[in-house]
């Protein structure tokens, strides 16, 4: 058997950035096999030295501790030395590995509910890409079956396989930003950190305070909270408005469960859309080349702030491949971002003699600090930073528990490869609400541009049985109305 066979049997499969599935399906045996397959692939590719260190980190959901132990035991059995880096942000784990040329993995389900979990794998050179997923899937299943019972649980306690926590990765991650941004650059700002259950909460507080901001901790939770930075929960919208109504804060910041996707709120309690935050961060860092998925706000091109904007499929592996393409063309100051706000650095960034080293994986803390510094430098409230951007507003939402095969079949009914026929099919479904169809883009899902310039983009999620809708218009009210209408139309597709 191969790892790919195990995916089909267990329901734990690769999504956009690692393996994910129901926590109960991610048994000790499944997680052990996935880790063994990852390390076996590295060894076969010449990327894993004998007795190599392997970094392990995790988020705060209940199943993470058990999965970490299974991953550590697999690393030991493959002749490696597991190094437990703690419950720290995913980018901190990746940065640890990049600095040492060592593989790493992060046990996390990111923003999804805690009945699910996942494992993100990082090569010694960065995130795994789609070709690496194929190589891991083809690895032979290396499992000592006597380790597990019939349900896939360890027969004996294996907790000793996970060593004591080493704080070095967290410390290096915090220092990364304290060393790059000027001391005191956030003086005078009062920032609320919405902690909930994110592993980024400690790093946020330490970095912001270290740069001069006054910080108030808000919303701490012992129970895992599935904060999604792309489809923000109504309760998180209400919390931000309530905190802002006190008049105490210049900004609010938060992140998803594993700290790679930011939430940045202005002084009024409005959370910035992730793709707008990405544009502002890229501008503050002086980026020349910007890579972003097809779902992101078109204000990035319309702004004229960047020499090159490259569009990709949705997911960090595709953004990373796009960034590498620009680097291969000889471009420097190359960055990437996603609609969820995650920000990636393909090249080093130099400012005022300080260098921020490349980190080609999603990060949250960088976005928040860059935007806050922009507000402080320009003497503007956070709400005014996007005033120079063309007026393009986006919204996104999702239908949960929407079978992926049904979603894909419905989209295939509209797009069959005949441009005129396909435009007519899209207009038959959406024309009454949005007018004539100008163009269809199937880079990832189905992106419909109407003659009005408005956009509706429909896409099955790569991580969960969800159907997402992204809408773009010239006003937030219209973008929200479009999204609501899309949700109503798509809900009927389940039947």
Residues belonging to the active site: 110
Specify which residues 289 forms β-bridges with: 308, 334
What b/e readout covers 102-122, taking b as 16+ CB neighbours within 10 angstroms? bbbbbbbbbbbbbebbbbbbb
Closest CA to 155 of 81, 79, 84, 70: 70
Give the ranges where 138-223 is alpha helix by DSSP (H).
168-180, 201-210
Per DSSP, what are the bridge partners of residue 460?
A: 467
Tracing tokens 């967290």 back to the chain, one arrives at 170
Beta strands in 328-461 (DSSP E): 334-337, 343-345, 349-351, 354-356, 359-363, 393-399, 437-441, 446-450, 455-460
Q: Which residues contact 56 (CB under 8 A, 6 or more apart)?
A: 68, 71, 72, 75, 82, 83, 84, 85, 93, 104, 105, 106, 107, 162
SS3 110: coil
Question: Is 210 within 8 Å of 216 (Cβ atoms)?
Answer: no
**The dihedral formed by the CA atoms of 366, 367, 369 and 374, expressed in degrees to the nearest 10:** 130
Residue 244 CA to residue 269 CA, distance in Å, equals 5
Are the beta carbons of 345 and 335 closer than 8 angstroms? Answer: yes
From CA 32, how far away is CA 52, in angstroms rounded? 17
Q: Which residue has the tokens 């784990």?
A: 93
| Structural contact between residues 86 and 57, judged by C-beta atoms closer than 8 angstroms | yes
CA distances from 104 to 57, 255, 352, 355, 472 (A): 8, 21, 32, 24, 37
Element (H, E) at 68: helix 64-77
Q: Which residue has the tokens 């680097």?
A: 327
Structure tokens at 207: 């970095």
What three-state secondary structure class fits 95? Answer: helix
Taking the C-alpha atoms of 115, 15, 87 and 39 in order, what is their torsion angle to the nearest 10 degrees?
Answer: 120
């Amino acid at each position: 058997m191969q790892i790919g066979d195990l995916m089909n049997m267990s329901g734990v499969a690769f999504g956009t950035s690692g393996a994910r599935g129901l926590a109960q399906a991610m048994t000790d045996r499944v997680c052990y096999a996935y880790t063994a397959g990852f390390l076996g692939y590295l060894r076969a590719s010449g990327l894993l030295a004998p007795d190599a260190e392997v970094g392990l980190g995790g988020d705060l959901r209940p199943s993470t501790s058990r999965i970490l132990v299974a991953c550590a035991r697999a690393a030991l059995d493959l002749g490696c030395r597991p190094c437990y880096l703690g419950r720290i942000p995913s980018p901190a784990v990746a940065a640890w590995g990049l600095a040492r040329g060592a593989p790493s993995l992060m046990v996390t389900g990111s923003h999804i509910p805690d009945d699910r979990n996942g494992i993100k794998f990082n090569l010694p050179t960065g995130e795994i890409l789609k070709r690496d997923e194929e190589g891991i899937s083809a690895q032979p299943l290396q499992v000592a079956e006597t380790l597990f019972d019939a349900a896939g649980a360890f027969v004996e306690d294996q907790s000793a396989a996970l060593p004591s926590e080493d704080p070095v990765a967290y410390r290096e991650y915090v220092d990364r930003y304290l060393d790059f941004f000027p001391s005191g650059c956030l003086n005078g700002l009062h920032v609320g950190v919405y902690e909930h259950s994110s592993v980024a909460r400690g790093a946020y507080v330490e970095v912001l305070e270290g740069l001069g901001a006054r910080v108030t901790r808000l919303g701490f939770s012992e129970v895992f909270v599935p904060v999604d930075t792309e489809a923000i929960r109504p309760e998180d919208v209400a919390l931000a408005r309530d905190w802002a109504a006190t008049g105490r804060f210049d900004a609010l910041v938060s992140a998803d469960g594993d700290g790679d996707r930011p939430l940045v709120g202005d002084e009024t309690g409005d959370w910035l859309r992730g793709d707008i935050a990405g544009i502002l961060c890229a501008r503050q860092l002086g980026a020349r080349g910007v890579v972003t998925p097809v779902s992101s706000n078109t204000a990035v091109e319309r702004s004229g702030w960047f020499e090159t904007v490259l569009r990709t499929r949705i997911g960090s592996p595709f953004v990373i491949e796009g960034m590498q393409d620009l680097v291969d063309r000889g471009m420097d100051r190359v960055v990437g971002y996603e609609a969820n706000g995650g920000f990636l650095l393909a090249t080093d960034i130099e400012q005022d003699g300080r260098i921020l080293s490349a980190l080609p994986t999603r990060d949250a803390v960088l976005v928040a600090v860059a935007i806050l510094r922009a507000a402080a430098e320009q003497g503007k409230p956070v709400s005014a930073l996007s005033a120079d951007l063309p007026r393009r507003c986006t919204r996104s939402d999702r239908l949960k528990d929407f079978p992926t095969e049904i979603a894909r079949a419905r989209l295939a009914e509209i797009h069959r490869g005949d441009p005129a026929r396909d435009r007519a099919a899209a207009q038959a479904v959406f024309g009454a609400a949005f007018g004539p169809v100008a163009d269809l883009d199937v880079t990832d899902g189905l992106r419909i541009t109407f003659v009005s310039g408005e956009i509706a983009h429909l896409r099955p999620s790569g991580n969960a049985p969800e159907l997402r809708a992204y809408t773009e218009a010239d006003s937030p009210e219209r973008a929200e109305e479009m999204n609501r209408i899309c949700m109503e139309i798509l809900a009927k597709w389940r039947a």
